[in-house]
Structure formats: C-alpha cells, structure tokens
C-alpha cells in the first residue's frame, strides 16, 4: 500500500482494467493511498513532477467471490472467539486476495470483523444466512415459503449489511422468484445453489449468479449424494449430452457462474486433500484437519474408513477411478464451453472447506480454469474486474478491489500458484460502504 504523502504514478508495460489487458499502463495513487486516475497507451497528464514506480504488471486486487470466513472449534474457546476467522482473512491477505465474499453463514462474525478490521486484511462482504425451504441444509438458514416470508428474510439480511442474497438447494422455484423480487427492491443480486430449483430455472427466475458447475449441469433427480459420484456421473454419454443446454440458458439470461471446481475435487479425492501443502495452516480455523494430517504416509491406509464415515470420501479405484477421471475431464471441457458461450465466470474458492486453504484455494481454482484451456489473462481478469462487476457494483472504476503489482508479466509465471510470491498489494480495496450495493451501469471506459 502507498504510504507517501505525495501522489505517485505506478507504471507497467502491462495493465489489466478488469476486462482487457492493455500495453503501457499507469495508475496514479494519491497521498491518501487511493487511486485517483489511470490510463494506458499514453503518458499520464501532469508531466514528470510526480514520483514514478515501475512494475512488471498492474491489475485490480483479486476477489474471492465465494468463501466461508468462519471457524470450527472442537475445544473450548479461549481468548478471541473470532481468532480463527481473523486467521483465515490473514491468509487471504498473504495470498494477495483483497476482497472476500463470505457466503451462507451466520451474520454476526462478519459484522464484528468488519467493525474491527485488522490492518491489511481484505475487505469483507457477506451474504448472511441462506434463504431456503425446508428441510434446511445448514444451521444458518432463514426459511422461505411464500412472498411474505421472502420479503421478511430478504429485508433481514439487507438490514444486516448483506451484499448478496444467498438461496439454497431446498428452495422451490416459486419461492425463489419471491426472493428475487424482494432482493431487487434492495438492489441486491441473488446467488443460488441449485437443487429443487435447477440452474436453468434459477436463471430464468432472475438469479444473478449460480454456484457449483456440476450441480448446474445435472438435473436434481440425477444428482448423486457424494462429490465423487457426482463427478463420475459425467462419464455417462447421456448426461454429457444434456449438459450443454443449461449453459446456453445461463448465457442467454446473463446469469454468472461460480464453478467451484477445485472444492469438488478436494471433496472427492482423499489423497489430494491429505497432500495439500498448506494443510497445517488450516488448523487454527478448522482443527479437524489434523485427522487428514495424521493420514499422511502409511496413515492413509488406516484412515480411509474414518474419512469415509466422517468426511464422505469414497475409495476410488479401478472402474470407479476411471469414471471419475473421465467425468472430471468433461467438467473442464464444460467450463471452457461456458466461456465460449459467453457465460460470465466468477472466481470463488469455497474455502474454508475441506482441505481448502483461504486465499491460496482461489489460485487452485483458477489453475483448473487454465487447465480447461482458458488463458491466464482471461482467468485473472475474471478474478478481478469480472467478479466485482457482479458482486461489488463496480460501475465507476476497476480499482474498487484495490491494485496489485506483479514483479513481471503474468504469462512468465510457471503457474498461477506462483502469483502470490510475485504480487504485492499497492492499494487495498475501496471502503465498501462507499460502493453501491449493485452495479448500475457499465465500467468506466478508457482509450
């Protein structure tokens, strides 16, 4: 972050404005540490009187468009009850993530964290509880059955400062329509998790975002219970043949997609969950990860039964593993197809989920987008300008999520996992109380 009392111009041979990558870009940062102007292809107005700092690339701060800023204790709470939540946000900041949307949880923790932020932490947004029908799928649920309960529930999360309304898999299409109508009165987008109301119906009903690519492509009646079985379902040619139509509906309705592919893989493959290189760092937030740590090496053989009973893991081998690999390859193809059709992609990590490290889990997700064939510049733009446009109402400037500086061009990195070491946060996210709740127009256009 800029600490000088004078204006500084940051220059780079490559700049992302959240939509495009431009040559010879610059960002002017005022003495208060906020962006005052920016451009590309021409020199900044005002001459050479200002200090200039040069970087390899400039881009808006990364946004985790779906995370869970929370903590799980299997011991007595001592000291700060929000310590695990703060540890998660600190990991996000370390990874260069400047904005986090905390989805589908109780409102009180993000309210308290936003009221007492730690220096350098990412800006925190939240959805508050899930608005869902019975049976509730999470304890943080407000039940919706009709227009009256929908208006009451939406009004409550809006009053608590929610930036997005989150709806759950038990919600019927009619009730979802009532939630969308109520949310529009508050200028809030709706993020839906497909279930009884599938992705197509949610898009046609006005949901701004849908999450979980596998759930979006399967009809509710065909959705298996486990993550591995869900992925394996896409080895079936009949299931594959039907998957294109939901993507076409999302594209036609302008509904954004939060794929969360990496979270599905981590919930399906025990070996990869146990091998997460930063697994120890999840312990302050979710101590149960010590059971996964105990499974490293020979412990994996003895821990499979525990993992199956308590975490839902299958033992994939032989035909089952081949079906999983075939299904996974199809999901990567489907993500590329979504991009080809024009579906807006929103980057989210689903951390802190099982073996999903806050902040760093976002890079794991984006790495799968690259493997699906999306270019690195496309991937990074979707995690910067694309995400705020949907979640933050970033109509006026691409820098609402802050400014990151890279030591070199992003294409030169050996992989997206190397980006945190090459990135530095120059400017934090704009105070979100000063940002409209939802987009009201196109982004600012620059030559």
For residue 437, pLDDT beyond 70: no
Question: pLDDT value at position 154?
Answer: 97
Give me the mean pLDDT over the 116-132 stretch.
93
Question: pLDDT value at position 341?
Answer: 97
What's the full length of the chain, in residues?
447
Give me the mean pLDDT over the 273-281 stretch.
95
For residue 440, pLDDT beyond 50: no
Q: Are strands 165-167 and 190-192 parallel, antiparallel or unpaired?
A: parallel
- Cα angle for residues 242, 245, 251 (degrees, 5° grid): 150
- Cα angle for residues 297, 299, 305 (degrees, 5° grid): 135
Question: pLDDT value at position 376?
Answer: 95
For residue 418, pLDDT beyond 90: yes
For residue 46, pLDDT beyond 80: no
Question: pLDDT value at position 394?
Answer: 58
Contact 167, 174 (CB under 8 A): no
For residue 194, name the pLDDT band (cuts at 50, 70, 90).
Answer: very high
Question: pLDDT value at position 446?
Answer: 31
388-424 per-residue burial string, b: 16 or more CB within 10 A, e: under 16: bbbbbbbbebbbbbbbbbbeebbeebeebeebbebbe
Question: pLDDT value at position 268?
Answer: 95
Give me the mean pLDDT over the 314-331 stretch.
95
Give me the mean pLDDT over the 84-112 stretch.
93
Sheet of 62-67, strands arranged across: 62-67, 97-102, 123-126
The answer to whether the Cα torsion of 280, 281, 284, 286 is positive or negative is negative
Please name every residue paired with 427 in a beta bridge, in sequence order, or none if there are none: 403
Give me the mean pLDDT over the 397-417 stretch.
92
Q: Helices in 318-375 by DSSP H: which ranges?
A: 319-341, 360-371
Contact 259, 335 (CB under 8 A): yes
Give me the mean pLDDT over the 358-376 stretch.
97
Give me the mean pLDDT over the 214-243 stretch.
89
The two three-digit tokens of residue 303, written as one number: 């821990």
The two three-digit tokens of residue 429, written as one number: 């996210």
What interhelical angle do 319-341 and 244-253 show, nearest 10? 30
Q: How far apart are CA 323 and CA 38, in angstroms?
A: 49
At 171-184, the pLDDT tens digits run: 999 999 999 999 99
Residue predicted with more confidence, 439 or 139: 139
For residue 361, pLDDT beyond 60: yes
At 152-161, the pLDDT tens digits run: 999 999 999 9
At a CB cut-off of 8 Å and minimum separation 6, what does 298 contact? none
Question: pLDDT value at position 19?
Answer: 85
Q: Is 254 left (phi over 0), alpha (psi -120 to 50) or beta?
A: left
Question: pLDDT value at position 137?
Answer: 87
Q: Helices in 79-212 by DSSP H: which ranges?
A: 83-94, 108-115, 147-159, 173-185, 199-204
Give me the mean pLDDT over the 325-329 stretch.
98
Residue predicted with more confidence, 168 or 398: 168
For residue 73, name the pLDDT band (cuts at 50, 70, 90).
Answer: low
At 282-318, the pLDDT tens digits run: 998 998 899 999 898 877 777 888 888 888 888 899 9
For residue 444, name the pLDDT band (cuts at 50, 70, 90).
Answer: very low
Measured between alpha carbons, how far apart are the two ends of the chain, in Å?
27
For residue 438, pLDDT beyond 70: no
Q: Is 373 left (phi over 0), alpha (psi -120 to 50) or beta?
A: left
Question: pLDDT value at position 441?
Answer: 30
Q: Whole-number mean pLDDT of the chain?
A: 89
What interhelical angle do 173-185 and 147-159 show, nearest 10? 40
Which of these ranges, 111-120, 323-332, 358-367, has the smallest mean pLDDT?
111-120
Contact 67, 103 (CB under 8 A): yes
Give me the mean pLDDT over the 122-141 stretch.
93
The two three-digit tokens of residue 65, written as one number: 């468009």
User: Which has the closest alpha carbon to 191: 181, 182, 203?
Assistant: 203
52-75 per-residue burial string, b: 16 or more CB within 10 A, e: under 16: eeebbbbbbbbbbbbbbbbbeeee
Question: pLDDT value at position 358?
Answer: 97
For residue 443, pLDDT beyond 60: no
């Amino acid at each position: 972050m800029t600490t000088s009392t004078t204006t500084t111009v940051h220059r780079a041979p490559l700049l992302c404005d959240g939509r495009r990558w431009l040559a010879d870009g610059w960002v002017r940062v005022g003495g208060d540490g906020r962006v005052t102007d920016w451009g590309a292809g021409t020199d900044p107005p005002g001459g050479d009187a200002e200090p200039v700092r040069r970087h390899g690339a400039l881009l808006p701060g990364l946004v985790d468009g779906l995370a869970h800023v929370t903590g799980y204790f299997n011991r007595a709470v001592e000291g700060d009850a929000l310590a695990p939540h703060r540890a998660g946000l600190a990991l996000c900041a370390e990874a260069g993530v400047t904005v986090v949307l905390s989805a589908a949880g109780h409102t009180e923790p993000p309210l308290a964290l936003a009221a007492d932020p730690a220096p350098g932490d990412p800006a925190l947004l939240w959805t508050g509880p899930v608005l869902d029908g019975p049976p509730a799928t999470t304890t943080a649920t407000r039940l919706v059955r009709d227009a009256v309960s929908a208006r009451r529930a939406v009004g409550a999360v809006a009053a608590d400062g929610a930036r997005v309304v989150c709806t759950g898999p038990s919600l019927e299409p009619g009730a979802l329509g009532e939630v969308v109508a109520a949310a529009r009165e508050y200028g809030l987008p709706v993020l839906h998790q497909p279930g009884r109301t599938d992705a197509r119906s949610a898009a046609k009903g006005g949901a701004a975002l849908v999450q979980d690519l596998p759930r979006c492509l399967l009809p509710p009646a065909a959705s298996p219970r486990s993550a591995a079985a869900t992925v394996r379902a896409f080895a079936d040619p009949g299931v594959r043949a039907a998957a294109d139509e939901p993507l076409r509906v999302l594209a036609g309705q302008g509904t954004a997609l939060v794929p969360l592919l990496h979270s599905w893989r981590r919930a399906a493959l025990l070996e990869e969950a146990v091998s997460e290189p930063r697994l120890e760092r999840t312990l302050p937030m979710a101590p149960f990860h010590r059971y996964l740590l105990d499974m490293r090496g020979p412990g994996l053989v003895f821990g499979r039964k525990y993992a199956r009973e308590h975490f839902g893991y299958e033992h994939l081998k032989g035909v089952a593993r081949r079906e999983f690999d075939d299904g996974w390859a199809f999901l990567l193809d489907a993500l590329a197809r979504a991009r080809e059709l024009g579906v807006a992609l929103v980057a989210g990590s689903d951390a802190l989920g099982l073996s999903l490290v806050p902040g760093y889990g976002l890079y794991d997700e984006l790495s799968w987008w690259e493997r699906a064939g999306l270019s690195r510049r496309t991937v990074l733009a979707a995690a910067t300008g694309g995400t705020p446009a949907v979640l933050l109402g970033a109509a006026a400037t691409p820098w609402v999520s802050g400014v990151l500086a890279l030591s070199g061009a992003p294409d030169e990195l050996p992989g997206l996992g190397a980006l945190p070491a090459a990135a530095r946060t120059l400017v934090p996210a704009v105070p979100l109380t000063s940002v409209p709740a939802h987009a009201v127009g196109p982004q600012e256009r620059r030559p």
